Structure 1
Amino acid sequence: MPELPDVEQARKLLHERCLGRKVTRVHAANDNIVFAGATDLESQLCGCKMVGSGRRGKQFWLEFSKRLVLFIHFGMTGQVHIKGESTSHYRKIEVDVGANWPPQYTKLELQFGQLHVAFTDPRRLGRIRLYEGDASESPIISKLGFDPVIDPPSPQAFAEMVMRRKMPIKALLLKQEFSAGVGNWIADEVLFRSSIHPAQLASTLTQVQTNELLRQLKDVCGTAVAANADSRLFPKEWLFHYRWAKGRKQPTQMPDGRAIEFVTVGGRTSAIVPAVQQLSSADQPPLQTKKKT
């Protein structure tokens, strides 16, 4: 699933290429799942000028004249394409743009004069919604938690937020109303770098641990955003580069030989390095371990 850095990359791309341009044509697919009840989107957007953009967590939006806001959520497989340009996309999503336009699985096409933009979504789990008013006042945004890049909490506030929750720390990090934009690989990376097991109950963490967790959360997200979501530029010591070997015949390990194992926490698969990530108390929820064979 595209996470915070991938979404910011898409927002930045559209902001740089479309800001100040007028929408000359809109084509929306007949898909009431992706468009989540939006009606008459084509007639409302056509003729409007893009005047801004924003992002919070995995949700981003384009602002248009007439106080119109187009909210876009990628879901599992959403992507943005610009005709005639090579754009960076999430590593596991494959949409063949080729010479044909619009691309396969296009749900929304916006034309800004000679500039063509398409939103594709093969699995139809993304959402596109049109809103009139201030984006920050929309329930789409107001229900989200802090953004690790935009407005991270203070160490003390973060510690209080974490310690009052009796649930596995990874499950808490994945809750978008807690930390908006954090997905599976970011949560695993942050916990690995903080030497915290994903199943550790949030309420059992110490102030020292929450301080480090917040520091790593800001650093991992900030570094990935600075790299424009290009994983080739991520630090070589990151777990990110080695976690994808799950299911292959060769052992899954870090470059220094430390083993990588996979456990299930809250129904989600987590990559851990047991050498540095151990449960610190016996009072923990049941854990399923998936070792390499």
Structure 2
Amino acid sequence: MPELPEVERARKLIEDSCKGYKIASVDAQEDSIIFTGGTDHNEFAKEIAGRSITGCERKGKTFWMTLSGEGRYPVMHFGMTGMIQLKGQEPTWYRRRPKESADVWPPRFYKFVLKLEPQEGSIADEPRELAFIDGRRLGRLRLVSDPVSSHPPVSELGFDPILNHPTLEEFTKLLVNKKGTVKGVIMDQAFSAGVGNWVADEVLYQARIHPSCPIPALSEQNIRDLHHQLRAVPLTAISVNADSKLFPSDWLFRWRWSKGTTQKKQMEKDKKSKGKKVVDGEGGEDVEPEDKEFLELPDGSPATIKFIEVGGRTTALVEELQKMPEGVEIKPKISKGGKRAGAKRKKVAKEEESDEGSELSDQSDLEEQKPKRPLTARQKAAAEKKGINSNLASQTKTEDNKPSAAKRRAIGARTGGSKNHPDSEVKKEKGSTECRKSKKQVEAVGEKLAKIKPQKGRKKAASTPESSELSDLVE
């Protein structure tokens, strides 16, 4: 992600190349994600067209052009992959990639292109074009009234390490009131605007502070070093126009992209590839120093670059130099369930810090929570096949829970056949009782029939109690 140094480079490009130019026309692409704050691409283009660029300002990772005349100013944020490009030049890349070319115009994934005309007092005399590019659509474009610093999102930002870095005393007061890990705090844009992932890692490496160190565990020397490096690292990067190949060779930034567990393993890979250094998986240009083979420890041996997760971000550190204070343990990550609770995750080292720097509100939160999930259709079918009613598991057994016919046959086979099965004995006894009852009834009917005398000369015999009872028995 472009951070304070890269955004400052974009601001300088506009200030040094476009100041005094008039925006003759605006080609804005429809994008309801990029254009935000109640502004669509048409309104954005209409409001800035015809006005002249008087300058460009920045705070943290947010920057904006100041324009002549009445109206709001265009406020920009790069997000993950945003860039500014002047026609005929390379874009303001975060790390140069082969696909980024100065020859393609308009550039791929552009969100707006400004056609600029020179005016009296402008920087140059030839027409120019300026584009805002964002391939992943994580950047933001909006219109904000002047003064921009008095309105969100700029008004919500903390101090800028370059523009208004606090004194050590002010910094200490701000820091001691914070909770959580030191990396999580300095990456909070409401605390220090412009500090992103790589700047935070570099600051903490140069200050020799473990990224997962809790704020209360920082010593006075730690706070002094942190205060100094928080300004020194961005200043150094800006001094070389955020060109990562010109960063100091002893910076962690120059060595972090191979993502190896140790540099010794990386050196072995380099030897196998005949000295060619491996480019990172994102396709970024190799920034390792050509005159060095590894990041050195003070004794000249290779440093061990380790990758952990802090505050939800991949974090690089040198474990020989960035140690936790004595007596301070790194808490294990705690799962609180949710959508991803059942998803497959990568194994995390035991030393990893919890993403959240806040304190746990209850002791029960210390236990890992496993969310209950309903049975799938396949699981329900399997449960029914086994004779288990999943919806009535807590209830007592009912008639529905009797073994199926197939299961009874299987039980009978195991017990030596139906003769030996307990159910067979019950049926046998029941059948014998019913048979005895039927025999007695037949004998009683025979006795009653014997008492009935036939009557001659009548077509239909009169109904008697005995005959009625007989007919009932016959039926």
TM-score range normalised by the length of the shorter chain: over 0.9
Structure 1 segments unaligned to the other structure (5+ residues): none
Q: How does 1:71-220 map to 2 (within 5 A)?
A: 71-91=75-95, 96-97=100-101, 99-113=103-117, 114-220=127-233
Task: Tell me whether 1:49 sits opposite 2:52 in the alignment.
Answer: yes
1:266 aligned partner: 311
Mapped to 2, the partners of 1:79 and 1:170 lie a distance apart of 26
Q: Is the 8 A contact 1:77 1:93 kept in 2?
A: no
CA RMSD, 1 decimal? 2.0
TM-score normalised to structure 1 length: 0.93
1:58 aligned partner: 61
Higher mean displacement: 35-44 or 276-285? 276-285
Q: Is the 8 A contact 1:261 1:290 kept in 2?
A: no
Task: Tell me whether 1:18 sits opposite 2:78 in the alignment.
Answer: no
2:295 to 232, 247, 254: 254
Q: Report the Cα offset of residue 32 of structure 1.
A: 1.0
Specify the code of the residue in structure 1 equivalent to 2:15. Answer: H
Mapped to 1, the partners of 2:79 and 2:72 lie a distance apart of 22
SS in 2 for 1:139: coil
SS in 1 for 2:153: helix
Q: Is the 8 A contact 1:162 1:203 kept in 2?
A: no
Mapped to 2, the partners of 1:98 and 1:6 lie a distance apart of 18
Mapped to 1, the partners of 2:100 and 2:229 lie a distance apart of 36
Q: Report the Cα offset of residue 136 of structure 1.
A: 1.3
Q: Is the 8 A contact 2:14 2:55 kept in 1?
A: no
Aligned residues: 291
Higher mean displacement: 263-272 or 86-95? 86-95
Q: Is the 8 A contact 2:307 2:316 kept in 1?
A: yes
Mapped to 1, the partners of 2:56 and 2:32 lie a distance apart of 24
SS in 1 for 2:242: coil
Larger radius of gyration: 2
Specify the code of the residue in structure 1 equivalent to 2:311. Answer: G
Q: Percentage identity across aligned positions?
A: 40
Q: Is the 8 A contact 2:48 2:73 kept in 1?
A: no
SS in 2 for 1:235: coil
Cα separation, partners in 2 of 1:95 and 1:41, compared to 1, 3 Å: farther
Q: Is the 8 A contact 2:83 2:92 kept in 1?
A: no
More strand by share: 1
Q: Report the Cα offset of residue 68 of structure 1.
A: 2.7
2:250 to 212, 221, 237: 237
SS in 2 for 1:279: coil
2:369 aligned partner: none
1:224 aligned partner: 237
Specify the code of the residue in structure 2 equivalent to 1:251. Answer: K
Cα separation, partners in 2 of 1:285 and 1:195, compared to 1, 3 Å: same
Mapped to 2, the partners of 1:285 and 1:60 lie a distance apart of 38
Mapped to 2, the partners of 1:100 and 1:232 lie a distance apart of 24
Mapped to 1, the partners of 2:256 and 2:190 lie a distance apart of 26
2:460 aligned partner: none
Specify the code of the residue in structure 2 equivalent to 1:47. Answer: G
Cα offsets for 1:84-109 (capped at 9, x unmatched) = 12344210666544543211100111
1:286 aligned partner: 332
Q: Report the Cα offset of residue 285 of structure 1.
A: 2.7
Q: Report the Cα offset of residue 187 of structure 1.
A: 0.5
Specify the code of the residue in structure 2 equivalent to 1:220. Answer: V
Mapped to 2, the partners of 1:166 and 1:85 lie a distance apart of 44
Q: Report the Cα offset of residue 135 of structure 1.
A: 1.4
More helix by share: 2
Q: Is the 8 A contact 1:144 1:176 kept in 2?
A: yes
Task: Tell me whether 1:7 sits opposite 2:20 in the alignment.
Answer: no
2:29 aligned partner: 29
Cα separation, partners in 2 of 1:116 and 1:171, compared to 1, 3 Å: same
Cα offsets for 1:76-133 (capped at 9, x unmatched) = 0001111112344210666544543211100111110221011110000000111122
TM-score normalised to structure 2 length: 0.59
Q: Is the 8 A contact 2:256 2:305 kept in 1?
A: yes
Cα separation, partners in 2 of 1:251 and 1:289, compared to 1, 3 Å: farther
Cα separation, partners in 2 of 1:156 and 1:85, compared to 1, 3 Å: same
Q: Report the Cα offset of residue 34 of structure 1.
A: 0.3
Q: Is the 8 A contact 1:262 1:289 kept in 2?
A: no
Mapped to 1, the partners of 2:106 and 2:97 lie a distance apart of 17
